[in-house]
């Protein structure tokens, strides 16, 4: 159905702009797609129908694989039967696969151990059937993704009558946990209807009170950003200021959480003058803001203001996630314009080559983008719940089913930390920007192939020669470190460092200066062309215990002039006499 709609739309949009009824037909097709998206949660159903068909053909045309799967199915059915026979004696018997939530001794008792063992065998067989080692076919990946969703949903740990832990708790509390769970469910439904998100416990972390509390001022504002300058914490400061470009997919204060987790506070306490871009949470009036606007109104305008506040000194530019991608584009533009404003570029979990985007690839197809565009056409923005839902699907057992069981069956709200509170504070995406980002960068990979243009300007990453420090995280499912690592061959920096830290896309970056559970590897190149494969790099880079923050700050200090500038307290008013608002400003509260 979806493919027919897309074909119908293309047929009519290819017609001359003045063709009678062309716009009306395209609008009808778009409206139908939007209605379909409301039924499917925004997923394009034809992608998954096609994926299952490709998977079926892959198995049907390979008799040896059919034989392997048949043999495996027989072995697992036999194992389930034999286990059930032994468990029927009443003797406690562990079902195995504790990593899937069956580690509690309550699962060792019949019939629950039989449920768990049968489920494990069934899930293991499906995983084998849906896995295609060495395959780069995204259709097969989507079939595997859809299959994993079904497998995770079917776990006996998700249901009261098949989960002995839940039954034991229900008996012990005389069902009070179910009453609390129902109240939690009603609260969450009401919150969603009111547009307030779905994590009430996150409200204990107030922006400007518990998180985003590093002292500073809003020194500039336009329709897209506020620029924050933070108060110095040392008598002297490095000459070169630091300008941080965070992702606009979420709020900036992931880099300024509670004081012990604040990268901003860490930098100012080390003697750096720090500026931060705080993005506006867009609404329908911003629907036509595109990537070019984010580069100009975002980074370039902010850079100009930093140069005004701290004249005669180059700027250390830092970008995180999609903000790092934006910074990479801007750095290439500045280099092409022979603008030498940047002293260095640091990128955290940011991609420039999207040929291997990781698990997000299941959502990046023409049909899916068409579906999202139809959804955004009415409101002008993509709501944060849509994006949050997509990320939750990638880890459905941990981010969907586990929390649902905890809150609605156990009746227990999770203990929320500052990072979890930030994660619940979602933002919207302008229609034009989001479509351009998905289609031009993810789908067509224009930035890596050299085909990306911004206005009339060609964006050539090979023009970037400034020192670079690039950070990837080991278990990143948003920007896999192998993908982040590819930036090395796209630029021509003769002073290039790549660091790999433990952790994921968010927790790996927000490490704190002292973190006993973190480790990192670091390797630096002193020429513009030498590179290694990711595997070779991993073998040569030495492992170090602890947070990566001190290693990066040492590099930053080494690329800065000595602390010879006296720290100046921030003014309370702009040059025109207008009072400066305290950080974190207004946009972060939107």
Peptide bond into 125 cis (omega under 30): no
Going by C-alpha positions, the residue among 433, 425, 398 that lies closest to residue 414 is 398
Yes or no: say if 288 and 268 are a contact pair by the CB < 8 Å rule.
Answer: no
End-to-end Cα distance, the chain: 38
**Two tokens at 425?**
């504070």
Distances (CA, A) of 368 to 48, 158, 365, 380: 10, 29, 5, 17
CA separation for the pair 26, 328 (Å, rounded): 36
CA separation for the pair 98, 87 (Å, rounded): 17
Q: Could you tell me the sign of the dihedral formed by the alpha carbons of 298, 301, 306, 307, in that order? A: positive
Yes or no: say if 71 and 37 are a contact pair by the CB < 8 Å rule.
Answer: no
What is the DSSP secondary structure assignment for residue 399, as one 8-state letter? Answer: I
Q: Active-site positions?
A: 321
CA separation for the pair 523, 556 (Å, rounded): 15
Tally the C-alpha atoms within 13 A of residue 150's C-alpha that lie toward its C-beta.
13
Q: Could you tell me the sign of the dihedral formed by the alpha carbons of 448, 304, 505, 361, in that order? A: negative
Yes or no: say if 360 and 480 are a contact pair by the CB < 8 Å rule.
Answer: no
């Amino acid at each position: 159905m979806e493919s027919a709609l897309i074909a119908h739309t293309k047929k009519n949009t290819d017609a001359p702009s003045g063709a009678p009824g062309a716009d009306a037909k395209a609008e009808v097709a778009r409206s139908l797609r939007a209605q379909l998206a409301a039924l499917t949660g925004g997923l394009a159903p034809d992608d998954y129908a096609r994926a299952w068909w490709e998977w079926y053909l892959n198995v049907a045309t390979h008799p040896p694989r059919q034989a392997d799967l048949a043999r495996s199915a027989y072995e697992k059915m036999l194992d389930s039967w034999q286990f059930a026979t032994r468990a029927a004696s009443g003797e406690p018997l562990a079902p195995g696969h504790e990593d899937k939530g069956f580690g509690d001794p309550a699962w060792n008792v019949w019939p629950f151990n039989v449920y768990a063992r049968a489920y494990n065998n069934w899930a293991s067989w499906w995983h084998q059937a849906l896995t295609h080692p060495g395959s780069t076919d995204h259709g097969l990946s989507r079939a595997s993704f859809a299959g994993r969703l079904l497998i995770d949903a079917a776990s006996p740990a998700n249901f009261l009558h098949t989960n002995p832990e839940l039954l034991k708790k229900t008996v012990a509390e005389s069902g009070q946990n179910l009453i609390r769970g129902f109240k939690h469910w009603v609260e969450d439904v009401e919150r969603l209807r009111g547009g307030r998100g779905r994590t009430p416990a996150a409200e204990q972390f107030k922006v400007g009170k518990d998180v985003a509390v590093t002292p500073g001022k809003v020194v500039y504002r336009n329709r897209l950003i506020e620029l924050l300058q933070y108060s110095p914490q040392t008598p002297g400061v490095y000459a070169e200021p630091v300008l941080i470009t965070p992702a606009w997919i979420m709020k900036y204060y992931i880099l300024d959480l509670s004081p012990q987790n604040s990268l901003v506070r860490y930098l100012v306490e080390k003697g750096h003058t720090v500026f931060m871009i705080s993005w506006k949470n867009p609404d329908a009036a911003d629907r036509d803001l595109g990537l070019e606007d984010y580069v100009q109104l975002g980074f370039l305008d902010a850079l100009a203001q930093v140069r005004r506040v701290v004249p005669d000194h180059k700027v250390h530019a830092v970008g995180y996630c999609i903000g790092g991608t934006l910074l990479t584009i801007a750095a290439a533009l500045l280099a092409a314009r022979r603008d030498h404003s940047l002293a260095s570029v640091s990128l955290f979990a940011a991609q420039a080559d999207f040929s291997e985007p990781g698990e997000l690839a299941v959502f990046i197809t023409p049909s899916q983008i068409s579906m999202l565009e139809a959804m955004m056409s009415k409101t002008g923005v993509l709501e944060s719940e849509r994006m949050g839902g997509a990320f939750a699907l990638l880890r459905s057992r941990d981010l969907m089913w586990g929390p649902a069981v905890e809150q609605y069956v156990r009746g227990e709200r999770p203990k929320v930390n500052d990072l979890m509170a930030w994660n619940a504070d979602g933002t919207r995406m302008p229609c034009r920007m989001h479509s351009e980002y998905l289609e031009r960068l993810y789908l067509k990979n224009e930035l890596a192939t050299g085909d990306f243009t911004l206005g009339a300007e060609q964006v050539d990453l090979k023009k970037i020669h400034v020192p670079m420090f690039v950070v990837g995280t080991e278990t990143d499912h948003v920007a896999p470190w192998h993908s982040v690592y590819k930036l090395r061959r796209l630029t021509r920096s003769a002073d290039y460092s790549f660091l790999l830290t433990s952790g994921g896309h968010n927790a790996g970056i927000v490490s704190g200066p002292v973190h006993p559970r973190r480790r990192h590897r670091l390797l630096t190149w002193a020429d513009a062309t030498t590179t290694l494969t990711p595997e070779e790099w991993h073998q040569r880079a030495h492992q170090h215990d602890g947070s990566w923050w001190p290693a990066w700050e040492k590099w930053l200090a080494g690329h800065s002039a000595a602390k010879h500038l006296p720290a100046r307290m921030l003014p309370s008013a702009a040059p025109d006499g207008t009072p400066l608002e305290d950080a974190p400003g207004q946009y972060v509260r939107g």
